Amino acid sequence: MNELKGACIIGQSGGPTAVINASVLGAIQTALNAPQITRVLGAANGIKGVLEGKLYDMGMEDPVELELLKFTPSSALGTCRYKMKNPDVDPTDYEKLLETFKKFDVRYFFYNGGNDSMDTCNKISKFMEKSGWECRVMGIPKTIDNDLFGTDHCPGYASAAKYIATSVMEVKHDACCYDTGMVTIIEVMGRHAGWLTAAAALATYAGAGPDLIYLPEVDFDMDTFLADVEKIYNATGKCLVVVSEGIHDKDGNFISEAKTNSNDGFGHAQLGGLANKLAEIVRGRIASAKVRAIEPSLLQRCATHLGSATDAHEAYLAGKTAVEAAVAGDTDKMPAFERATDEEGNYKCEMKLLPLASVANFERKVPREWINAAGNNVEMAFVDYALPLIQGATGMKTAESLPRFARLRKILAQPCCK
Amino acid sequence: MNELKGACIIGQSGGPTAVINASVLGAIQTALNAPQITRVLGAANGIKGVLEGKLYDMGMEDPVELELLKFTPSSALGTCRYKMKNPDVDPTDYEKLLETFKKFDVRYFFYNGGNDSMDTCNKISKFMEKSGWECRVMGIPKTIDNDLFGTDHCPGYASAAKYIATSVMEVKHDACCYDTGMVTIIEVMGRHAGWLTAAAALATYAGAGPDLIYLPEVDFDMDTFLADVEKIYNATGKCLVVVSEGIHDKDGNFISEAKTNSNDGFGHAQLGGLANKLAEIVRGRIASAKVRAIEPSLLQRCATHLGSATDAHEAYLAGKTAVEAAVAGDTDKMPAFERATDEEGNYKCEMKLLPLASVANFERKVPREWINAAGNNVEMAFVDYALPLIQGATGMKTAESLPRFARLRKILAQPCCK
């Protein structure tokens, strides 16, 4: 093994999750304990902090506060959506990164993000290699969308899925207790893949699920949708729909972005997203129903209070594994999850390493056979997949019955070299 | 004491809460154990079930499932928003009630609801007295709005408040992790009183609260609001606003219902409620900000998973006290809460009984002195009031890490008399 000594940078990118900080904690604690790593730096707002040399010294943090990161939502180091150019076209950003790496003697770079971030990692890795700056670059997966390629599931997904399943169960109870007609439409995040929306099927499994579930994996047809809703409403006086924000028609146009057309019921300016739009259309069709749109919005990706212990644990492991693998000599890879079973046949998650190039820019979707033939509900095969992932209550700490989230000092690190 | 023997009816009315079933459980269990009560009947969809003689025999329920009612959201017996006419104008409904009471030998009536329901109770009580049908009528308070008169607080409020406080803390973390400008507006229920919206101040107390809070107790001025947001946004690049759905201008017009006027920024059809409307207006003013509207909608009143143990316990006691008091001879009253302190100076809740006439049709609002002078935030006095109420984690049962809510048989009761 080639021992490489130097500082490491850990950064977070893209939309946060309920457990992205658990991954960062896994990486930080492992790095702080690794003799090869001389200093553990946190990038302020992801790659932007690296470009600007704005790095926090994670060794200066109170270990007790750090520990709270395991159950603190959002990206504690800050995040960004900055997209770096292709280095072959414009290497400016990459040269800046190299400058920061040299100034802080950075030999390890860990980037915690989704699809785009794995691509960024891959490009940085190649650039550093070409530049002759020895450096190991590892991606750490996260996304509530669960659409990363090559991994059984993604850290962050299960906690969001648990939030959706639980909230749908609670709303189902609420929306069905009146004696009057009611249609309720819940809009779930996931622009291209329906994993999170499908989590509503867990509510069905637990006895209080929606009547209809629409994923972006199946083309959405407004007339069929209205007929589906009407059929259930006419039979029961209620209808609970869970729909992905990313549903689109057969030509690929997002329903949420459908143009105003006063003839087809789409006739209103879009203020409140897809659920509100669908609610408006249903209102025009079923006059006797009270129609309500619910968009949990950010709540679904930051609800640490309802997180999955399994998810938090696996997220931590992903961060830990990335650091351990890099220290052991790996680079240009991402830890991923492989589903296995223990001796008693129970779910077990095993870690593996994937080359970043095999992950970046691919999207994993819900298999068509896990969606029913009519395209308006989800099959038991999905429940079998998702149920083990949401197990275990959150370990979120509380003080006076309110969340006690980590409070970091965020002390800026000084460069060690010129 | 005049011992009165006969059946009782327990009904639920109005919008549900996370703990309204805890009150019903308190009433049912106490009634099932009371020798004076011959049969415990649950009204299907509140007063409408009584009018139609559609009553469930609660004695036929599995006690284990009944017990789960303590942490099952929504109104398990079903609810309604049916408003009975004034009996002096049209006694038809009251005569129908009397018919049901006679058919089922009902001598006790317990109605679990808000303001309107207390008024209904009061009218029923008077009508029965006039008709010569001996019957004891008790209200059992519930409302997330916390606006019932004469009680320190209302069952259902604290659980919703805890949900709002926790969710605001989580959203605060999420909405502040980007390096880009962001304004987030959260809309909270409460048409006339700002108690639930004020709960966002608990998030501030716990270290992650909103920048601005607007309650309906203070007239809302759009220009002042925009200036408030802009000032904070310009200083920090972020602004988190929590606003009551019931805010109104100085003439009493709801902001959510303000008419379209293309000159003042209000220029859009309302699809998504107040938060979306305010977001649209802020977008027009602060071009650099991403502006997001979040409306937790039903989630805030049915989130049993995040309920307050104190609230559930007190809700149970309210139901229990109503039955005990009625059996002991009381009628035309409502159990209410009085705040006290135990020997160690800690919060304690004591039960008292209020005449229904003193409760019905009054509204209790947030005291002006608990709101800051500028009318855009809430003072510590409110936190002192609300904090004891949200204490204790929910006792919600789970199965495979998903809620295990009560499943009632709902067996219809047969009349015992002609």
Q: Which of A81, A83, A205, A298 to mutate to test the interface with B (most CBs of B within 10 A)?
A: A298
Residue B389, pLDDT > 90, answer yes
A242: three-class secondary structure by DSSP = strand
Stretch B48-57: mean pLDDT, rounded? 97
Residue B142, pLDDT > 70, answer yes
Name the token pair of B150.
């004469």
Name the token pair of A193.
């893949």
Q: What pLDDT, on a 0 to 100 scale, did the predictor assign at position A325?
A: 98
Q: How confident is the model at residue B264 (pLDDT cuts 50, 70, 90)?
A: very low
| Mean pLDDT estimate for chain B | 94
- Phi then psi for residue A12, to 5 deg, are -120, 145
Could you give the residue range(s) of every CATH 3.40.50.450 domain in chain B?
Answer: 6-155+303-362+391-403
| CATH fold group of domain B6-155+303-362+391-403 | Rossmann fold (3.40.50)
Return the residue of A nearest to B74 by Cα.
A174
| Whole-number Å distance between alpha carbons of A112 and A104 | 20
Q: What pLDDT, on a 0 to 100 scale, did the predictor assign at position A1?
A: 56
CATH of the domain spanning A6-155+306-362+391-403, picked from 3.40.50.450, 3.90.1150.10, 3.40.50.300, 1.10.3720.10: 3.40.50.450
Interval B78-129: pLDDT, tens = 999 888 888 999 999 999 999 999 999 999 999 999 988 999 999 999 999 9
Q: What pLDDT, on a 0 to 100 scale, did the predictor assign at position B265?
A: 40
Q: Contact, B157 vs A56, CB < 8 A?
A: no
Quote the strand ranges of B233-388, DSSP E. 238-244, 290-294, 333-341, 347-355
CB count within 10 Å of CB B138 equals: 29
**What DSSP character marks residue B14?**
S
Task: Tell me which residue of B185, B253, B246, B252 sits closest to B216, measured CA to CA.
Answer: B246
Name the token pair of A26.
């896994």
Selecting from B176, B179, B301 the residue whose C-beta is nearest the C-beta of A174 gives B301
Residue A267, pLDDT > 70, answer no
Q: Contact, B352 vs B152, CB < 8 A?
A: no
Q: What pLDDT, on a 0 to 100 scale, did the predictor assign at position B219?
A: 98
Q: Which of B177, B204, B301, B346 to mutate to test the interface with A (most CBs of A within 10 A)?
A: B177
What B319-322 contacts at long range (C-beta under 8 Å, 24+ apart), as own/partner pairs, is: B319/B10, B319/B22, B319/B23, B319/B24, B319/B25, B319/B26, B319/B27, B319/B28, B319/B30, B319/B110, B319/B112, B319/B140, B320/B26, B320/B27, B320/B29, B320/B30, B321/B26, B321/B351, B321/B353, B322/B27, B322/B110, B322/B138, B322/B139, B322/B140
Could you give the residue range(s) of every CATH 3.40.50.460 domain in chain B?
Answer: 159-302
| Whole-number Å distance between alpha carbons of B331 and A36 | 77
Q: How confident is the model at residue A116 (pLDDT cuts 50, 70, 90)?
A: confident
Q: Do B272 and A280 touch (CB under 8 A)?
A: no
Q: What pLDDT, on a 0 to 100 scale, did the predictor assign at position A263?
A: 37
Stretch B118-143: mean pLDDT, rounded? 95
Q: Contact, A307 vs B401, CB < 8 A?
A: no
| Whole-number Å distance between alpha carbons of A143 and A146 | 6
Interval B215-236: pLDDT, tens = 999 999 999 999 999 999 999 9
Please list every residue in chain A whose beta carbon sits closer than 8 Å to the beta carbon of residue B165: 402
Residue A194, pLDDT > 80, answer yes
Q: Do A402 and B206 touch (CB under 8 A)?
A: yes
What ipTM did this prediction achieve? 0.96
Q: How confident is the model at residue A418 (pLDDT cuts 50, 70, 90)?
A: low
Interval B284-323: pLDDT, tens = 999 999 999 999 999 999 999 999 999 999 999 999 999 9
Q: Do A272 and B269 touch (CB under 8 A)?
A: no
Kindly state the percentage of chain B with pLDDT values over 90.
89
| pTM of structure | 0.96
Kindly state the percentage of chain A with pLDDT values over 90.
89
Q: What pLDDT, on a 0 to 100 scale, did the predictor assign at position B272?
A: 52
Interval B149-195: pLDDT, tens = 999 999 999 999 999 999 999 999 999 899 999 999 999 999 899 99
Q: How confident is the model at residue A81 (pLDDT cuts 50, 70, 90)?
A: confident
Residue B271, pLDDT > 70, answer no
Name the token pair of A191.
């622009």
Please list every residue in chain B whose beta carbon sits closer than 8 Å to the beta carbon of residue A162: 401-402
Q: Within 13 Å and on the Cβ side, how many CA atoms surround B364?
A: 19
Q: Which residues contact A116 (CB under 8 A, 6 or more apart)?
A: A13, A14, A83
Q: Contact, A200 vs A296, CB < 8 A?
A: no
CATH of domain B159-302: 3.40.50.460
CATH 3.40.50.460 fits A157-302, yes or no: yes
CA distances in angstroms from B278 to A389, B284, B294, listed in the order given? 38, 10, 11
Please list every residue in chain A whose beta carbon sits closer than 8 Å to the beta carbon of residue B20: none
Could you give the residue range(s) of every CATH 3.40.50.460 domain in chain A?
Answer: 157-302
Interval A219-246: pLDDT, tens = 999 999 999 999 999 999 999 999 999 9
Could you give the residue range(s) of every CATH 3.40.50.450 domain in chain A?
Answer: 6-155+306-362+391-403
Name the token pair of A13.
């990118």
Helix H or strand E encompassing B255 = none
Q: Contact, B278 vs B243, CB < 8 A?
A: yes
Interval A143-159: pLDDT, tens = 999 999 999 999 999 99
Q: What pLDDT, on a 0 to 100 scale, did the predictor assign at position B2?
A: 73
A6: left (phi > 0), else alpha (psi -120 to 50), else beta? left
A404: three-class secondary structure by DSSP = coil
| Whole-number Å distance between alpha carbons of B72 and B407 | 9
More confident residue, B274 or B260: B274
Interval A399-412: pLDDT, tens = 999 999 999 999 99
Active site residues of B: 145
Residue B34, pLDDT > 90, answer yes
Q: Contact, A408 vs A61, CB < 8 A?
A: yes
